[in-house]
């Protein structure tokens, strides 16, 4: 099974599917169809039915039931796109077999090193196989690991008809990384009673609560005057942008928060004296605290405008997704099913809140309860990203066990 997983994974990560948060199209980049079309071909070759890539880039397929029992229809989803935070072009995966516990040199020339002091979780994988990129791109385990794991699980079921199962629905989605992954997803047509996104991190992760999320885009209009004659005339947009940022709580930044603590995260900052632009993401698990955060950033902009007695700054705040816990709690048996599946394949369940979001969060609010399962990846969205092959194999085993348990 490991060879099947790694072959698929290596093939998928070399296809550039980076999404674009500034695009007005869906999917946000046409190149996501490159992977979608390949997956359509491979699903047909495996033997699934109702295989389709639609005009929005959604890949869907069905594995028909092979049991006469009345069992639920289960869905499994993963997203094809990779983060805009770092290049996904010309990904060159590297495989480090039988990891010895030392620092891993990803790229000697660029001095990109996975140092154990920085990433102590590496010690958990001594003797295992670690996959990285080459230092100038992300790897794409988020979420091509999930794609490879679902594909491998479906292939395994086709070749092992002795494993009885109900109808299984598969979907691979675009644009998850820019918060639009299920904008056009037809839950009713998909036809699952409940589903799981395979889009988590390290082995054992099981998540059914996530951040409430919003984006905030702030534009500052300054006034550029020759600095020699600027007194009482110049309005420096760069300085105003930094002032707005300083009005937000210093201790509510990603690098200073953990567990259930929310944050403001600056994702873009461009500016000249004449004009500046700041972009944030706002996150909190607690809905009340989330709403307070949105008020705080709005108030920061209002404060600046009062100071200058004119609309120097404008802000656009958009909600992106909400905490799925509210929708999962009434059907907690689907979480318990995963816990038991993990235990049966020798994985310790680690139930924790997602410090991010998944397509499953929005799907849960669209009527498809959808917890999230680990893929075996670490350090997503950057050059230090890595995946552990043995963890990926366990993810496949968990998927298979969930399906098997649904017929009990």
Are residues 254 and 167 both part of a single domain?
no
Q: Is the pLDDT of residue 60 over 90?
A: yes
The domain in which residue 328 lies consists of 2-210+323-405
Helix, strand and coil in the chain, % to nearest 5? 35, 25, 40
Q: What is the pLDDT of residues 123-136, one digit of tens each?
A: 999 999 999 999 99
Q: Structure tokens of 298?
A: 């709005």
Under the banding of pLDDT at 50, 70 and 90, the label for residue 241 is very high
Under the banding of pLDDT at 50, 70 and 90, the label for residue 308 is very high
User: Span 312-339, mean pLDDT?
Assistant: 94
Q: What is the pLDDT of residues 79-136, one digit of tens each?
A: 999 999 999 999 999 999 999 999 999 999 999 999 999 999 999 999 999 999 999 9
Are residues 259 and 363 both part of a single domain?
no
Q: Is 169 exposed, middle or buried (0-12, 13-18, 19+ CB in 10 A)?
A: buried
Under the banding of pLDDT at 50, 70 and 90, the label for residue 356 is confident
C-alpha span between 130 and 113 (Å, rounded)? 13
User: Span 374-397, mean pLDDT?
Assistant: 97
Q: What is the pLDDT of residues 181-201, one digit of tens each?
A: 999 999 999 999 999 999 999
Are residues 245 and 390 both part of a single domain?
no
Pick the catalytic residue from 142, 176, 252, 284: 176
Are residues 24 and 148 both part of a single domain?
yes
Q: Nearest CA to 14 among 107, 132, 131, 140?
A: 140
Q: What is the pLDDT of residues 279-293, one digit of tens each?
A: 999 999 999 999 999
Instruction: Give phi and psi for 379, each to the nearest 5.
Output: 55, 45
Are residues 221 and 362 both part of a single domain?
no
Q: So what's the pLDDT on residue 357? A: 76
Domain endpoint, select from 302, 321, 340 = 321
Q: Is the pLDDT of residue 17 over 80?
A: yes
User: Span 152-170, mean pLDDT?
Assistant: 97
Are residues 188 and 314 both part of a single domain?
no
> Cα–chain-centroid distance for residue 315?
26
pTM: 0.85
- pLDDT-wise least confident of 227-236, 338-347, 388-397: 227-236
Please report, for the domain that includes residue 303, its CATH number.
Answer: 3.30.70.360
Under the banding of pLDDT at 50, 70 and 90, the label for residue 311 is very high
Pick the catalytic residue from 16, 40, 42, 81: 81
User: Span 377-396, mean pLDDT?
Assistant: 97
Are residues 78 and 114 both part of a single domain?
yes
Q: Is the pLDDT of residue 45 over 80?
A: yes
Under the banding of pLDDT at 50, 70 and 90, the label for residue 321 is confident
Q: So what's the pLDDT on residue 408? A: 80
Domain endpoint, select from 276, 305, 321 = 321
Percent of the chain with pLDDT over 70: 100
Are residues 74 and 157 both part of a single domain?
yes
Active-site residue, 291 included: no
Q: Is the pLDDT of residue 352 over 90?
A: no
- Provide the terminal-to-terminal Cα distance of the chain, rounded to the nearest Å: 25
Are residues 190 and 234 both part of a single domain?
no
Cis peptide before 107 (omega within 30 of 0): no
Strand pairing category for 112-114 and 372-373: unpaired
Are residues 191 and 219 both part of a single domain?
no
Please report, for the domain that includes residue 18, its CATH number.
Answer: 3.40.630.10
Q: So what's the pLDDT on residue 358? A: 77
User: Span 386-402, mean pLDDT?
Assistant: 98
Residue 368 near residue 383, CB atoms below 8 Å: no
For the four alpha carbons of 200, 204, 207 and 213, in that order, the dihedral sign comes to negative
Are residues 309 and 331 both part of a single domain?
no
Residue 271 half-sphere exposure toward CB, CA atoms < 13 A: 23
Active-site residue, 81 included: yes
């Amino acid at each position: 099974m490991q060879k099947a997983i790694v072959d698929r994974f290596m093939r998928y990560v070399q296809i550039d599917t980076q999404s674009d948060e500034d695009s007005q199209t869906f999917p946000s980049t046409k190149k996501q169809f490159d992977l979608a079309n390949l997956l359509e071909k491979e699903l047909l070759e495996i033997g699934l039915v109702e295989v389709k890539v639609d005009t929005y880039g959604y890949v869907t397929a069905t594995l028909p039931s092979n049991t006469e029992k009345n069992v639920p229809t289960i869905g499994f989803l993963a997203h094809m796109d990779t983060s805009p935070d770092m290049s996904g072009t010309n990904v060159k995966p590297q495989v480090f077999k039988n990891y010895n516990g030392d620092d891993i040199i990803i790229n000697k020339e660029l001095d990109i090193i996975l140092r154990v002091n920085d990433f102590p979780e590496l010690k958990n994988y001594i003797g295992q196989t670690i996959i990285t990129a080459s230092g100038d791109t992300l790897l794409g385990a988020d979420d091509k690991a999930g794609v490879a794991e679902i594909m491998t699980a479906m292939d395994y079921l086709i070749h092992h008809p002795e494993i009885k199962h109900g109808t299984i629905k598969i979907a691979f989605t675009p644009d998850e990384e820019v918060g639009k992954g299920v904008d056009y997803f037809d839950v009713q047509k998909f036809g699952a009673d409940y589903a799981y996104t395979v889009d988590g991190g390290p082995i054992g992760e099981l998540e059914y609560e996530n951040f409430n999320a919003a984006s905030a885009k702030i534009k500052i209009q300054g006034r550029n005057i020759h600095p020699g004659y600027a007194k009482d005339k110049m309005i420096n947009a760069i300085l105003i942008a930094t002032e707005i940022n300083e009005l937000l709580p210093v201790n509510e930044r990603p690098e200073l928060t953990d567990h259930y603590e929310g944050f403001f995260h600056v994702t873009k900052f461009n500016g000249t004296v004449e004009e500046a632009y700041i972009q944030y993401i706002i996150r909190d698990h607690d809905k009340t605290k989330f709403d307070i955060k949105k008020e705080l950033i709005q108030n920061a902009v209002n404060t600046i405008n009062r100071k200058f007695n004119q609309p120097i700054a404008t802000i656009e705040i958009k909600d992106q997704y909400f905490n799925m816990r509210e929708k999962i709690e009434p059907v907690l048996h689907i979480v318990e099913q995963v816990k038991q599946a993990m235990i049966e394949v020798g994985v310790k369940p680690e139930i924790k809140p997602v410090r991010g979001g998944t397509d499953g969060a929005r799907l849960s609010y669209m009527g498809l309860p959808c917890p999230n399962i680990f893929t075996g990846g670490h350090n997503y969205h950057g050059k230090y990203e890595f995946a552990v092959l043995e963890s990926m194999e366990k993810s496949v085993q968990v998927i298979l066990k969930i399906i098997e348990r649904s017929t009990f």
